Structure 1
Amino acid sequence: MRSLPRLMATAAAALCLVGAAWAAPAALPHELRAYSFASPEQVAQGRGEVVASHTVEAAGAPWVRLQFKDVRLMPGSKLRITSLQDGAVQELNARTLHQWRNTSAYFNGEAVRVELLAGKGTKGNRFAVSHVMVGQVPVQTESQCGATDDRVPSNAPDRARLVNVGCTVNLMSNGCFVTAGHCLASPGSVNVVEFNVPPSASNGAIVHPAPKDQYVPTTNRQFKNSGVGKDWGVFTTSPNATTGLTALQAQGSSLNFATAVPAVGADVVITGYGVDSGSANQTQQVSNGPIVNVNTTAQSLQYKSDTEGGNSGSVVLSGGNVVAIHTHGGCTTSGTGGNQGTLYTNPDLQAAFTQVCGATPTPPTCSSIRSVKASCSAKGKITVNVRLTDSSHDGQSVVVAIDGASQDAPINGDLARASLTRQASGSHTYELIDPEGCVAPKTVVCP
């Protein structure tokens, strides 16, 4: 147990006195800077070697993340991004770059090197950097239940930090994640799930784990953000772009829902990535305390266990199993009140968990593709039609790139379609990049 002077802003104190205040996320402070770099299009045939290299630098930044555009990666080609501070590396091919929505992992330090490696026998590879997310040092505000902050460092392998929104997410036994619904309510901030988070810098600036411990969330998610007892979120992530492993395979640990609602007085344990001072800021810490109220009608649980901003989404454990998801504050430093969460018995949560986390359908492969054709209208609208051999992949999607710009093409029956409007007259390249390597790139001419 530790007793620290609290650096609590007046607004935060007022918020804590409100019975149903959000257990606020702790978004990473940053600046999004426009950046202009484009590699020349590769002319000579590649030999699996570096054909273009560029260093992106943001002086004094504790961390950076890149946003790409106009990327074209032929089969076997990839981007390699390396932190010049700690040597962490991420490699992205056309498929994984699409999964990462044309962004990189988070990299520690002020500079990264981006290298373009052309696949053997390929031409036309290129990339451009359009923006840099530049990390900033956070301003600390804290609160807790009672006069002391009882959180201590922990290293549970099935808990992770969700950035940029700044929440806690939890790995379940089927490989799915649960968190608070308000953590998923702003899709633009649901960027990366980070495991094995290292200590932050002494000034509180967070430090990111290596790219092998970073996972990008998919769009397979459901959530509700409707107040105490009705605040929950469920989602999945893609396999790691560096290792190819799922989070469950890599971490080797997971959680399960409880089978019975706990009683008042039972002890709960909460692990999460709440704000703190210095190197403990938004790193994994654990606390415990008693349950003070159970409301099965409102599907809510109230407890006295220390949490901070960034603990939003932490699961509440009793007997080692998940009994609730921490979503709202309510405790005070004087010892009154209690923090609150959504009970695991919430029927909407359970229905979403079954739907989102059910068996993953087999994705289309090259054997599923019958043809890939494109046309261009008089107004410059390019339409790419991907015809599949049957309708067994209805509702899924393939990924098509037009002049290097990738987009999902939803499958309706046995047809997937993607389009790009207002294209200039002349030749344009289109290709199927997921599934990869099925059909060679083709050209379509706009009038």
Structure 2
Amino acid sequence: MRLARPPLSLALIAGFALAPALQHAHAGGSRPLPADATTPDQAASIDRSPGVALYAETVHQPGADWVRLRFDPSTHLPEGYALILISEADGATQLIDADELARWRYTSAYFNGPGVRLELLPPLEPAAPSLHHEARVVIANVESPEAHPGDIQFSICGPTDDRDPTSDPRIGRFLPAGCTAFLIEPNGLLSAAHCVRDDAVVQFNVPPSGPGGELRHPDPADQYPVDPDSVQSPQPFAPGNDWAYFGLFPNATTGLGVREAQGPGFTLAPQPVAADHRTVRVPGYGLATGQLPPELSRTLTVGQGPLVEVDATRLVYQADTTGGSSGSPVIDTATGDVLAIHGSAGCDAHSGAHNPTGNTGTAVWTPTLRAAIADPRGVNRDRDCDGDGMNDFDQIAAGLGTDCNGNGILDACENLAHLDCNGDGFPDACDGRDCDDDGINDACAIAWGLVEDCNNNGIPDSCDLLPTPIHRATDTAGPIDAFNPVNFTITDIERTETDVTLTVFAAADVNSPSETLAVFINGTPMATLFHTSVDCDPNMATDAFTIPAHTFNTLIGIQRTLAIAIVASPAVDDWRCGNQSRARVELSYFAAPFSVDTTGDGRPDECPPLPCGPADIASSSGSPVPDGRVNVADLNHYINIWLESQAESNAAEAVYADLTGPRFDGQPDGRVNIADLVYYLDLWLHSLHDCN
């Protein structure tokens, strides 16, 4: 872009135009209008009654395809005063008052053509003659396009640019960096970290470019300034960690937020995917390469191709992109989910089936990105997905709404068609068991044939042999004070093999040593909590204690039931919390494995022997369900779990990978090493002839 030095300075007091000092960067600018000139018809669409312009002037940048004004920080618009900016080329208008000036970071929207007319309007309700309000408008410079964008790395996968024009109301052009950004659920936008600027704007409904590829801008009604307080991104960023999460201020011309104007955003993939050459699409505002018409440059085009590599948080794919595509969504064509944020080039003319080079993006399951989305800032925190008038985060913190998977989205607002495989109205990650942490309810995984349940107990066989994580939570109850204990009953409790953590969440009058909450279980006093905490904390303060395993098992008895009472000390009063005091309880521990495996075949002992022996551990589709055949799918599956078991934290895979000890006798020895790999390979080779 090019910046021209100041062409305009206005200073006004009350409603009278003083003699302004005009300094134009270029000769031939329009002359000032007299102080009693009326606003032109183009501004009539702005929600402001026609009136007298206190001052008007045209800022002109000869030969420019578009301009954006940058106001000096000394610019001051008192309450009620406003600027109307009008494009000379197409009459597009923008209304700027003091609040909008701050939101736009002392810049304007982008306007087509070389000139913009400014008109300063007085308040709708004139001030008393004795009151003097100084309005000052100083334009520091004018932003306009550079003569030539310079060298461009096109990152086309193969010899031809196969992108096609497309449209999607969820995807915008991200300026001034010249990138792409897209809306996500439940709110906010994603792009690449290297695209973020302090004065960034996202444009939607972008028109075709000019005949030479010159940018054409949408109406200011389709341009939204970024809230800088909302921006979260990694520093430093790198491939596989190049993401930005942010929000947009509403558009002052329409009064609409971007979600109201553009509709719902994309859904992010709930868990990692395999590099299985599935087809992905990458729509973005990239430059034209010369193989596409110049009118498509920096408009929305889409390339597609196979996903060739998944490496932790980095995806590699062979879909055409160019400069300007950074920040584009990488979309799974089959599901419509976003898998990654496009970030950098890697394709060339030789990329293809026999050359796995590709363009790269940051996976949407990157932990730091997920954490940012779960804890938004700025305008992104103004979330009310269920339309009940209460901020979602306040609702979750107060226990008035549930977020069982901790992603910052009310369970009632989750995309249940996507995350509720058994149709019971709860996200799978929160619904009963998901013992292998694949994001799919165990009952659904069994029904769909994704895992084996040979003993028909409703638990995947892979989990029958592991300690069972137990998490039980009560509803929220109240009031709680010296006269009103709260009582909970939890039934069908599993015995524990580990100590149990009991956590109490409370919004109560508990901010001094004499204000406490005592916990009783089945009538037995267990702990006194909240000796000094936050008084009536709307987010519900927490305190916890540990119950030894043998004590817990004694308490639940053969009835497997706990009666929990939370009893307040005499100094605790409900009225100090506005009669809104409340509490709830959570239990966390590990129960015993459901089954044992003494045969070393990785299956519960109560299951019948596999028809093809222990080498049959996967189906031809790759799912961990024996199919009565032994082939390369079984070998690949074992190699994968053997490699994954090398991670110290991957205890689940270690159970299946541990097949033998150093004597090769088929007896697991609690370690996974090369002996196990050799042992399985021998089993596989001996079974391959009879069971293929």
Aligned to 2:232: 222
Counterpart contact for 2:326–2:342, Cα < 8 Å: yes
Q: CA 1:289–1:269 in 2, change beyond 3 Å: closer, same or farther?
A: same
Between Structure 1 and Structure 2, which shows a larger proportion of helix residues? 2
Counterpart contact for 2:8–2:59, Cα < 8 Å: no
Q: CA deviation at 1:137?
A: 4.2
Q: CA 1:94–1:361 in 2, change beyond 3 Å: closer, same or farther?
A: farther
Aligned to 1:334: 350
Q: Out of 115, 121, 125, which is 2:126 matched to?
A: 121
Gaps of 5+ in 1: 1-29, 363-391, 393-447
Q: How do 1:188-227 and structure 2 match up within 5 A?
A: 188=198, 190-219=199-228, 220-224=230-234, 225-227=236-238
Aligned to 1:33: 4
Larger Rg: 2
Q: 1:311-347 CA deviation, whole Å, 9 max, x = no partner? A: 1111111110111111122111122311111111110
Normalised by the size of structure 2, how large is the TM-score? 0.46
- Greater relative contact order structure (CA < 8 Å, 6+ sep): 1
Tell me how many residue pairs correspond in the alignment. Answer: 329
Q: How do 1:131-280 and structure 2 match up within 5 A?
A: 131-139=141-149, 141=152, 142-184=154-196, 187-188=197-198, 190-219=199-228, 220-224=230-234, 225-263=236-274, 264-276=276-288, 277=290, 278-280=294-296
The one-letter code sitting in structure 2 at the alignment partner of 1:124 is E
Q: CA deviation at 1:259?
A: 2.1
**Identity of paired residues, percent?**
37
Distance in structure 1 (CA, Å) of the matches to 2:148 and 2:182: 24
Aligned to 1:97: 101
Q: 1:167-208 CA deviation, whole Å, 9 max, x = no partner? A: 110111223011112212xx34x5211111111111111111
Q: 1:351-398 CA deviation, whole Å, 9 max, x = no partner? A: 011222653289xxxxxxxxxxxxxxxxxxxxxxxxxxxxx9xxxxxx
Aligned to 2:115: 111
The one-letter code sitting in structure 1 at the alignment partner of 2:382 is T
Q: Give yes or no for the alignment of 1:56 onto 2:59.
A: yes
Normalised by the size of structure 1, how large is the TM-score? 0.70
Distance in structure 2 (CA, Å) of the matches to 1:207 and 1:75: 33
Aligned to 1:349: 369
Distance in structure 2 (CA, Å) of the matches to 1:155 and 1:253: 15
The one-letter code sitting in structure 2 at the alignment partner of 1:91 is L
Distance in structure 2 (CA, Å) of the matches to 1:163 and 1:44: 36
Q: 1:51-88 CA deviation, whole Å, 9 max, x = no partner? A: 11010001110000111133222222210000000110
Distance in structure 1 (CA, Å) of the matches to 2:336 and 2:88: 41
Between Structure 1 and Structure 2, which shows a larger proportion of strand residues? 1
Q: 1:18-48 CA deviation, whole Å, 9 max, x = no partner? A: xxxxxxxxxxxx1111114222313338995
Q: Give yes or no for the alignment of 1:287 onto 2:303.
A: yes
Counterpart contact for 1:218–1:236, Cα < 8 Å: yes
Q: CA 1:130–1:359 in 2, change beyond 3 Å: closer, same or farther?
A: closer
Distance in structure 2 (CA, Å) of the matches to 1:253 and 1:150: 28
3-state DSSP of counterpart to 2:295: helix
Q: CA 1:41–1:254 in 2, change beyond 3 Å: closer, same or farther?
A: same
Gaps of 5+ in 2: 17-35, 37-49, 128-132, 385-536, 538-692
Counterpart contact for 1:118–1:125, Cα < 8 Å: no
Q: 1:208-264 CA deviation, whole Å, 9 max, x = no partner? A: 111001111111111124322111111111111211211111111311111233331
Q: CA 1:305–1:159 in 2, change beyond 3 Å: closer, same or farther?
A: same
Q: CA deviation at 1:124?
A: 2.5
Q: 1:87-106 CA deviation, whole Å, 9 max, x = no partner? A: 10000111011101111101
Q: CA 1:246–1:203 in 2, change beyond 3 Å: closer, same or farther?
A: same
Question: What CA RMSD, in Å, does the superposition of the two structures yield over aligned residues?
Answer: 2.1
Counterpart contact for 2:59–2:116, Cα < 8 Å: yes
Distance in structure 2 (CA, Å) of the matches to 1:361 and 1:162: 23
Distance in structure 2 (CA, Å) of the matches to 1:265 and 1:36: 55
Counterpart contact for 2:155–2:359, Cα < 8 Å: no
Counterpart contact for 1:138–1:204, Cα < 8 Å: no
Q: How do 1:422-441 and structure 2 match up within 5 A?
A: none
Q: 1:387-419 CA deviation, whole Å, 9 max, x = no partner? A: xxxxx9xxxxxxxxxxxxxxxxxxxxxxxxxxx
